[in-house]
Copies of this chain bind each other. A is one copy, B any other.
Amino acid sequence: MTATGQSIIAGVATSGTAGTFRAVDPSTGEAIGPEVQALTTAELSAATAAAAAAFPEYRATAPEDRARFLETIADEIESIGDELIETAHAESALPLARLQGERGRTCGQLRLFARVVRRGDHLGVRIDPAQPERQPLPRPDLRMRQVALGPVAVFGASNFPLAFSTAGGDTASALAAGCPVVVKGHNAHPATAELVGRAVARAAERTGMPAGVFSLVFGLGNEIGAALVTDPLIQGVGFTGSRGGGLALVAAAAGRPQPIPVYAEMSSVNPVVVLPGALDGDLAALASGYVTSLTNGSGQFCTNPGLLFLPTGAAGDRFLDAVGEAVRSSAGQTMLTPQIRAHFDQRAEFLAQAPAVATVATGTVGQAANAPAPAVFATELDDFVAEEGLAEEVFGAAGLVIRYPDVDSLAAALGRIEGQLTATIHGTESDVEDARALLPVLETRAGRILWGGWPTGVEVSDAMVHGGPFPATSDSRTTSVGTLAIERWQRPVCYQDLPQGLLPEALRDANPWELVRRVDGTLELP
């Protein structure tokens, strides 16, 4: 089962000739694992060609078959056993328990999308029956369903080597929609990607899917990603990563002769608003919750609470003291890559040196490599609004506390921040009217709004939105986590006056797939 450093193109292990690279154990800085044999852009095109060749057969698979494929991927991932967890741990330095949880989430996500495929409401069936007697013109018989977009390219995240990577949310939702997937393996965790990629390929073979339904490709630098996104056979892109990387893919896709959708989940500072009433309670618990959310996983979450808005005054001061205490007792954890750590250092240093910013507290540097000290900084609302760069994401365990004098000023400042994945309000009953004033502002700024709690920890469910206005994502109309994510990979088609025998099963009068349908304007349960 050991990783070989090969790409997997339509089920076949394939050595590229563009050069090699190796993963790095970030806790030691040493190269580990096989020499990964990167593909040239010419070699890459075998994967997109295979995906396009598989598309007609795969998009036509029956719900039960497609659902079994997704479930079999989950089974195959589980059957890798401890090797997967150990490999991911070595490549990412993420704790074993966290990776076990992430594997559970990855497989649960695949099985959830199997249920979505079976229930079939993503097909969005609408039937407007013919009205041959209507005046002045008869109405034809019109039936709509959603169809798969075509082959999809997926770029996995460094911070979720399982749940947002090779067989993560983008891949699961695209496969569920009926789209073949070509995954660009993340160069920070190639062996993890390869083990998972082989599991997907085995599942495709076991369930009789066309081999081109899935490929995993490795490349050097950004060239292979650009080649993938501009390949005319690719019809959609999923990406989780940095703003620079995401915007480059968005630009590449927009510059194609045929532009295609790119769903890039890029950056977010996830403002947390502490309203005055929240400071009447257990300040140590509140501070501890904040620092735990900020430093957990070395702060490497898209939903990390990077900004916390805190009232000026004595209660806020006491909260900040409690935060300082919690931060001082925290230790650095190894970050995902030396590059990510270097970027963290740069941003933390920027905040430490910013004239209007004070350092509340720093923790200790971790014992292994690349484990910088957590830190919390503080500034005033006026300075936050006036100074360039204070609202930018720090990817890692560093937060900025912004002291605000009143809720009106706060609302004005929040109305000007960039788009976010999440926004959180801490308050009590005495804060409800303030919260009511803030909610409309936050709704225009974020995809998920929390009352209490912390934004890290993203449920995979029907009602989840892990998305938000630009630049949190490139497309606020959707989510990359939860079952709604399947709709990203679809487009509607209407069938006019087709005989029953030529209609897709989903649209036939007999409703053989037992779908929810909107018939003549009224929603009908099966």
User: Which of A's residues lie within 8 Å of B, judged by CB?
Assistant: 56, 59-60, 101, 115, 119, 121, 124, 126-128, 136-137, 139-140, 142-144, 147, 149-150, 250-251, 254, 258-259, 261, 419, 432, 435-436, 439-440, 443-444, 446-453, 457, 459, 461-465, 467, 469-471, 474-479, 484, 490-499, 501-502, 516, 518, 520-521, 523, 525
- The listed residue with most B CB atoms (<10 A of its CB), out of A124, A463, A475, A499, is A463
A509 to chain B, nearest CB (A): 14
A436 to chain B, nearest CB (A): 6
Residues on the B chain within 8 Å of A453, using CB: 140, 496-497
Please determine whether B447 and A494 come into contact, CB atoms closer than 8 angstroms.
yes
A32 to chain B, nearest CB (A): 30
A108 to chain B, nearest CB (A): 12
**How far, in angstroms, from A478 to B440 measured CA to CA in the complex?**
27
Q: How many copies does the complex hold?
A: 2
* CB within 8 Å for A465 and B447 given contacts A258-B471, A502-B435: no
A261 nearest in chain B by CB position: B477
Residues on the B chain within 8 Å of A115, using CB: 521
Residues on the B chain within 8 Å of A520, using CB: 462
Please determine whether A143 and B463 come into contact, CB atoms closer than 8 angstroms.
yes
* CB within 8 Å for A443 and B147 given contacts A465-B492, A493-B448, A502-B432: yes
The 8 closest A-B pairs by CB, nearest first: A465-B494, A142-B463, A126-B463, A144-B463, A448-B494, A450-B496, A128-B463, A254-B254
Selected from B147, B443, B479, B494, the residue in CB contact (under 8 A) with A463 is: B494
Selected from B60, B439, B523, the residue in CB contact (under 8 A) with A502 is: B439
**How far, in angstroms, from A519 to B484 measured CA to CA in the complex?**
14
Please determine whether B462 and A521 come into contact, CB atoms closer than 8 angstroms.
yes
Please determine whether A140 and B493 come into contact, CB atoms closer than 8 angstroms.
no
Please determine whether A459 and B140 come into contact, CB atoms closer than 8 angstroms.
yes
**How far, in angstroms, from A502 to B434 measured CA to CA in the complex?**
11
Please determine whether B470 and A491 come into contact, CB atoms closer than 8 angstroms.
no
Please determine whether B491 and A476 come into contact, CB atoms closer than 8 angstroms.
yes
Residues on the B chain within 8 Å of A474, using CB: 259
Selected from B475, B496, B525, the residue in CB contact (under 8 A) with A525 is: B525
A457 to chain B, nearest CB (A): 7
**How far, in angstroms, from A462 to B459 measured CA to CA in the complex?**
32
* CB within 8 Å for A467 and B479 given contacts A461-B139, A462-B144, A523-B121: no
Residues on the B chain within 8 Å of A119, using CB: 521
A511 to chain B, nearest CB (A): 15
A142 to chain B, nearest CB (A): 4
**How far, in angstroms, from A494 to B128 measured CA to CA in the complex?**
31
**How far, in angstroms, from A465 to B490 measured CA to CA in the complex?**
13
Please determine whether B143 and A497 come into contact, CB atoms closer than 8 angstroms.
no
A518 to chain B, nearest CB (A): 6
**How far, in angstroms, from A353 to B432 measured CA to CA in the complex?**
74
